[in-house]
Chain A
Amino acid sequence: MVIEAGAREKLSFAVIDAIAHKHNVELGAIIPVLQEIQEAYGYVPPVAIQRVAENTGVPASELFGIVTFYAQFRLQPLGKNLIKVCHGTACHLSGAERISQTIEQVVGAKEGETSQDGLFTVERVACLGCCSLAPCIMVNGKVHGRLTPEAIGKLVSQVKEKEKVVLSGEVG
């Protein structure tokens, strides 16, 4: 597992320790600890697993077992934007496969991958609970429904536009 250089720098044992201690008073709180670490870093860095093990006394092997059992946990860093494509029943019937195809085209990443420019990670999920608006995707936590290939094109270029603004802002 390769940790992106940038991500490694940002990793702080102090943050991880604080998260572990906050929950440690509660029985069985190991999943919330891992969830909060993922919330902080966008993924569960392997070094964090080691650190949590030392902190809590739960063996790293067991933590690894948990992380790989639950679909929510990622062991790879995320792209800047996260797109979750719904493949629930209603979305499937309304052409979710076509939605995936379009996203792959405009974003440059298949489901389960991050685009080369690091802008997008695309994930596959089973039902976002907005079935009446199928087909749906979730972009950075917000659900978008009644999608068409054209609407996706627009959505993605909006996100890209924003990134550009941020970038030029940083330069200037």
Chain B
Amino acid sequence: MFPERDKKNRDWVIRVGLASCGVAAGGREVYDALSTKLRQKGLNAELKQTGCMGMCYNEVLVEVSSPGGGRVFYRHVTPESVDRMVEEHLIGGQPVTEWVIPDEEIDNLLAKQKRIVLRNCGIIDPESIDDYLAADGYKALEKILRSMSPQEVIDEVTNSGLRGRGGAGFPTGVKWSFARNSPSSQKYIICNADEGDPGAFMDRSVLESDPHSVLEGMLIAGYAIGASEGYIYARAEYPLAIRRLEIALAQAEERGFIGKSILGCNFDFDVRIRQGAGAFVCGEETALMMSIEGRRGMPRSRPPFPAQSGLWGKPTNINNVETLANLPWIILHGADVYNKYGTDKSKGTKVFALAGKVAHGGLVEVPMGITLKEIVFDIGGGTSSGLEFKAIQIGGPSGGVIPASLADTPLDYDSVTKTGAIMGSGGLIVMDETACVVDAAKFFLNFTQNESCGKCTFCRIGTLRMLEILQRISDGEGKEGDLELLEELAESIKRASLCGLGQTAPNPVLTTIRYFRDEYEAHIYEKRCPAKKCRALISYEIMPEKCPGCGLCAKYCPTGAITGERKKPYIIDKEKCIHCGLCMSVCRLGAISVQSGGRDE
């Protein structure tokens, strides 16, 4: 990634990472401050915005390339740091070393990565089609239109071994040939950009950082199956992604890459953007199509598959954002280059969103088959807290929790499935010792329970019953037989649900019971939460020897349970305490402790 670029640039080039994470961390303010400062100083410097550089834990990130070719990344930049950066580095020629990310850290991050989907992310300006064109943009489109038949495109994609990145991992080329072989004068391509899994932000980052690659992917797919219309169904919580898509779409239309007789060839293709309206289940393909048609998004049974009867009854091919973003690269470099990466049955690379209690959280793209350990430790730098790595949650609410003891599991579709989890779309949440698995299972089930569309009884009510049992366990009211009951319900829900939501909803519960049974049992039989998370099973105390009596905790306590005199140790009234832990999170001196050792202690 980050190929040596701007080698011969005559001027300074400064790039500010302005994907959502960068913006949230204050990137726009930094950009404006830089712009003002550069103007004031009359410097010949090109200031550019770019997308996600993948190192979200360092936001706001600024990359500075000097005219000679040297390049450094500044981290945690604020508008206040801009003065010194410009004065010392751009004018004085000396980078402010204490703010620069050490080369070694970047090398460690990159050593195991291979950027295909993310090839342009954090490099080009996502709002500039010229940047995309300069990075071989729309060359794959040109190649297929000038020299390949639709069947040849399908064969190439089939040979690449690419499997759908939206979760199910179905071979993309095979799916295309179904749609190609469905006779109809009207066919559709849908780009699934609903990315509903909490903890996943791969698709958002790609859309915000390189929207043209997704459009080009849709064009390739459209040409292959014989579709002339495309829809992008994007999640409403991603306003920036939608805006950049709209910009990209307008530019591509203007330059003749989208519209009628594209590049003068006999190929028409139009694209429309539709915003989701906040229903997780609409990520499921049949529900998604209902939603585009303007109805309540409820999955239906398949067959007929979308390839036979999809949007408005026409043959339709749905692909995920990441799947599509792979395509231009595959076409340009060839299937045989792509399928050298990865494992026997899982070819190519996969983008993961690494978050949770990990030191170097962000977006990583690695060849399939890399182990969890390599991701968490070699790339992720271990836990952010320095505490023991406990488990990793993969695949969002449909996935599962894989314990540290299985950290050697290779990340490919089959190996992950063997653990009871699923690869899913690519969210990886690292958990340290402070995470309680009962709480995590409850969290995910609560999510799927809320998002169940209500069509299937087991999914609608079965998940609720499971949630009640989990709630009971975390409230210290668990009973003998609860775990068996959970397992039984889980199996029934998996078997009796129509769509993937219900079929996978029990996975987080099943995997946590499978790998952390003792932790469940501690809740049930000892009324103890080993991670000290479940509110009903913990109590807080102020350690008098550490408390200087500043009163901050008392100020934040929502129930007025903390009292005391200034400059003397405060105390917590256990009757009034609701165990929210706010006091502990505001105390700067670590004077508050939490215990869990049975309610009567």
CA distance A126 to B448 in the complex (A): 11
Complex contacts, B274 vs chain A, CB 8 Å: 31-32
Q: Is the CB of A133 within 8 A of B238?
A: no
CA distance A125 to B580 in the complex (A): 20
Q: Is the CB of B582 within 8 A of A143?
A: no
Residue of A with least CB distance to B447: A126
Chain B interface size, under 10 / 10 to 19 / 20 to 34 / 35 or more: 35 or more
Most chain B CB neighbours (cut-off 10 Å) among A27, A95, A131: A131
Chain A interface size, under 10 / 10 to 19 / 20 to 34 / 35 or more: 35 or more
| Nearest CB on B from A121, distance (A) | 15
Contact with A along B276-304 (1 / 0, CB 8 A): 11111000000000011111110000000
* A150 at interface by CB-CB < 8 Å: yes
Complex contacts, A88 vs chain B, CB 8 Å: 198-199
Contact with B along A117-135 (1 / 0, CB 8 A): 0000000011111111110
Q: Is the CB of A132 within 8 A of B582?
A: no
Query: Which of B16-24, B110-118, B246-254, B498-506 interfaces with chain A?
Result: B16-24
- Given A101-B558, A132-B361, A149 contacting B585 (CB threshold 8 A): yes
Q: Is the CB of B581 within 8 A of A89?
A: no
Query: Which of B92-100, B129-137, B350-358, B404-412 interfaces with chain A?
Result: B350-358
Q: Is the CB of A92 within 8 A of B586?
A: no
Complex contacts, A35 vs chain B, CB 8 Å: 236, 275, 277
A139-168 CB contacts (< 8 Å) to partner B: 141-146, 148-150
| Nearest CB on A from B31, distance (A) | 15
Complex contacts, B200 vs chain A, CB 8 Å: 127, 131
Q: Given B237, B276, B278, B443, which contacts A92 in the complex, CB threshold below 8 Å?
A: B443
* A169 at interface by CB-CB < 8 Å: no
Residue of B with least CB distance to A29: B294
| Nearest CB on A from B324, distance (A) | 18
* A90 at interface by CB-CB < 8 Å: yes
Contact with B along A87-127 (1 / 0, CB 8 A): 11110111101100110110000000000000000000111
Query: Which of B159-167, B328-336, B427-435, B470-478 interfaces with chain A?
Result: B427-435
- Given A70-B278, A72-B236, A129-B201, A102 contacting B24 (CB threshold 8 A): no
Q: Is the CB of B24 within 8 A of A89?
A: no
Q: Is the CB of B356 within 8 A of A93?
A: yes
Q: Is the CB of B580 within 8 A of A101?
A: yes
* A136 at interface by CB-CB < 8 Å: yes
CA distance A143 to B57 in the complex (A): 15
B232-248 CB contacts (< 8 Å) to partner A: 236-239
Q: Which 5 residue pairs of A and B lie closest in terms of their CB atoms, listed nearest first? A: A132-B56, A88-B198, A89-B199, A70-B277, A71-B278
| Chain A interface (Cβ < 8 Å from any Cβ of B) | 26-32, 34-35, 58, 65-66, 69-73, 87-90, 92-95, 97-98, 101-102, 104-105, 125-134, 136, 141-146, 148-150
| Chain B interface (Cβ < 8 Å from any Cβ of A) | 20-21, 23-25, 56-57, 59, 195-201, 204, 236-239, 272, 274-280, 291-297, 312, 353-357, 361-362, 393, 396, 427, 429, 431, 435, 440, 443-444, 447, 453, 556, 558, 580-582, 585-586
